[in-house]
Structure 1
Amino acid sequence: MLPRAACRVLAGKLCQFSGRTARYHGQSEWEQSSHSCTDNPRILITGSLGQLGPVMAHFLREKYSVDNVIMSDIIKPTKEIAESGPYIFADVLDFKGLQRIVVMHRIDWIIHFSALLSAIGEQNVPLAVRVNIEGAHNVIELAKQYRLKLFLPSTIGAFGPESPRNPTPNVTIQRPKTIYGVSKVHAELMGEYYHYRFGLDFRCLRFPGVISSDPPGGGTTDYAVAIFFESLREKLFECYLRPDTRLPMMYIEDCKRAIWEYMVTPSEKLKRRVYNVTAMSFTPEELVTAIRKHIPSLKITYNPDSRQNIADSWPCVFDDSEARNDWGWSHNYDINKLVETMIRDVRNKMEAS
């Protein structure tokens, strides 16, 4: 429920609600509230200790100031994270706790990263249902109540074996075979529904495998992260996918920039609320070839496991032409630039540890 003060304010405006979006003096409630926070929004990042959270927080803090970007999770932060800017405990399953955070910290945007990834989710389906589905419900309803701008990422895992795989268009059949994929399709549809029914400024990007110099976190595409650590440490890597398994990928620098560019795009330019975005597609064999230009002695073996079945149901090539046409998305990193950057960053990280 809304706080009493907010209820009193809304009660005076409810009589002006008509159609699918609330109107107030010729503007939607969202449009009115968003004008005051577009230039310097206060942003809450949930699940911020995962792969995307720290780099996204750093990126946004450089644009909007350290104090305006609040990291949150249920995990104790490292000293480095704790000293880098505001960090709070936030359980996405605790709706009242989230309400308190939004009110006390005057939040304008939520970037919702909390989720169990594909391989981890298959090992604990009940927990994945709670975190990925109930957690998404909570932030969607919260954003509706407080008229927040909400970003919720989706994935290539939102597609299934019945989907066209090369290329996979923005709108097509989606019948994922993992709880991770099912939860993401559910979140996409709920967010679109809340947009069309209540005027929620919901924004969602379907990402490919995201590659960064952080250790792998349990996703099916994480072989493309682990291989750099093993290449530099042992010059030997056992891949859990077949050598010809083609999957779309993106370097994390492109990923975080895509989120921000999408978030600041005016609503009138958006023809959809869910877009595919990608940068490149490659196979493990092609990635090994690119790495061997820098580490010629790298040896690789292939031992496909259950993750192969997941990968076989996912897109090989993502069609992101709508994102490129509607709001100007373009990537900066191809496979060669990705490999050069990853080898440098992973080597520096290993030497520093």
Structure 2
Amino acid sequence: MQKILVTGALGQIGTELVMKLREVYGADQVIATDLKSSAHEITRSGPFELLDVTNDKAMFDIANKYQVDTVIHLAALLSATAEEKPLLAWNLNMGGLMNALEVSRELGCQFFTPSSIGAFGPTTPKDNTPQDTIQRPNTMYGVNKVSGELLCDYYFHKYGLDTRGLRFPGLISYMTPPGGGTTDYAVEIYYAAVTAGKYTSYIAKDTNMDMMYMPDALEAIIDLMEADSSRLSHRNSFNVTAMSVDPEAIAAEIRKQMPDFTLDYQIDPVRQGIAESWPHSIDATAAKTEWGFKAQYDLEAMTKDMLVQLGKKGELFKRGVS
């Protein structure tokens, strides 16, 4: 990767990935794009362009203007929001992906887009979910992700486009607020612990799902994109994970640092239904074997860092610093 275009740069992954890429490859080498602008470090620290990813010409013009050799396509509606607005989700998630693939094909770019554990469904094996297994999701988000994996495979086999992707679990970050995902409770619980000392979970206890701390997710993207293409068999759908947890496990870890933290429940039937259709734990052997994936953070290490970092953010907000 030398000149990188990122769509959805102000989203959950994009806000941190752009800054990481600029740190590694140089600020001027990473072109951030999003539907709207904001007073964010991303828009100040390097090239930024407004982009609606459903506008194929605008995407091509930006990519061509900067002569990019890599497209990282992140713009999408997440699981819970997609279930509320399925038509919008299809048009944005699939239309935007098709446009990004076509731009990459026309300009000969390397290409990345994330998939998700949402690509699995209720008939997928729940424990130690294999890399290659049945995928029959019952959500629009899941349908989008399976379709996206297949579409990227098609562009690789049909056109030789160097497409790559990861099936992310729930991603936990102290930098970016939750954005409409089913696993967002695992972000919210840390924010609530620091600000209120208590949290009401919309996901039921004993609902285990895979999670990953954002620093590991960012490293995984870069490591995959820099990996030797000849070693990749799965390309667009590598299982990756760091931990399998339920709300009680996270709360117990938080109490090691904050003994008075309390957790109760008010279940959201929609998000609980989505969660129950997903795996309890997944097998990341293919990612480890083909390009050396290894997560650095387990639940204990992540929780310690989350609470420290969120505590620092709270002090900054108190002093009026953003």
Question: What's the TM-score bracket when you normalise by the shorter of the two chains?
Answer: over 0.9
Residue 28 of structure 1 is matched in structure 2 by: none
CA contact (8 A) 2:19 2:42 kept: no
Distance (whole Å) between structure 2 residues aligned to residue 325 and residue 82 of structure 1: 37
Over the aligned positions, Cα root-mean-square deviation in angstroms equals 0.9
Instruction: Please identify, of 253-262 and 141-150, the stretch whose mean Cα deviation from structure 2 is larger.
Output: 141-150
State how many pairs are aligned: 314
Within the candidate set 162, 165, 173, 1:204 is matched to 165
Distance (whole Å) between structure 2 residues aligned to residue 143 and residue 80 of structure 1: 27
Matched, 1:93 2:54: yes
Matched, 1:108 2:88: no
Aligned-residue offset at 1:110: 0.6
Aligned-residue offset at 1:80: 2.8
Instruction: Please identify, of 71-80 and 91-100, the stretch whose mean Cα deviation from structure 2 is larger.
Output: 71-80
Distance (whole Å) between structure 2 residues aligned to residue 304 and residue 315 of structure 1: 19
Q: Residues 241-299 of structure 1, C-alpha deviation per residue, up to 9 Å, x if partnerless?
A: 11100000000000000000000001111112121111111111111100000011011
Distance (whole Å) between structure 2 residues aligned to residue 79 and residue 318 of structure 1: 35
Residue 325 of structure 1 is matched in structure 2 by: 289
Distance (whole Å) between structure 2 residues aligned to residue 48 and residue 310 of structure 1: 26
Q: Which letter maps to 2:149? A: E
Q: Residues 87-129 of structure 1, C-alpha deviation per residue, up to 9 Å, x if partnerless?
A: 1111110011111111111011011110000001111111111
Residue 259 of structure 2 is matched in structure 1 by: 296
Residue 285 of structure 1 is matched in structure 2 by: 248
Q: Determine what percentage of the aligned residue pairs are the same residue.
A: 42
Distance (whole Å) between structure 1 residues aligned to residue 262 and residue 77 of structure 2: 31
Residue 275 of structure 1 is matched in structure 2 by: 238
Unaligned runs of 5+ in 1: 1-37
TM-score by length of 1: 0.87
Q: Residues 206-255 of structure 1, C-alpha deviation per residue, up to 9 Å, x if partnerless?
A: 00000001211111001010011111111111000111000000000000
Residue 260 of structure 1 is matched in structure 2 by: 222
Unaligned runs of 5+ in 2: 318-322
Distance (whole Å) between structure 2 residues aligned to residue 263 and residue 123 of structure 1: 33
Residue 23 of structure 1 is matched in structure 2 by: none
Within the candidate set 289, 308, 314, 2:278 is matched to 314
Aligned-residue offset at 1:79: 4.4
Residue 299 of structure 2 is matched in structure 1 by: 335
* Structure with larger Rg: 1
Matched ranges for 1:148-297 at <5 A: 148-213=109-174, 214-273=176-235, 274-297=237-260
Distance (whole Å) between structure 2 residues aligned to residue 184 and residue 202 of structure 1: 14
Matched, 1:143 2:104: yes
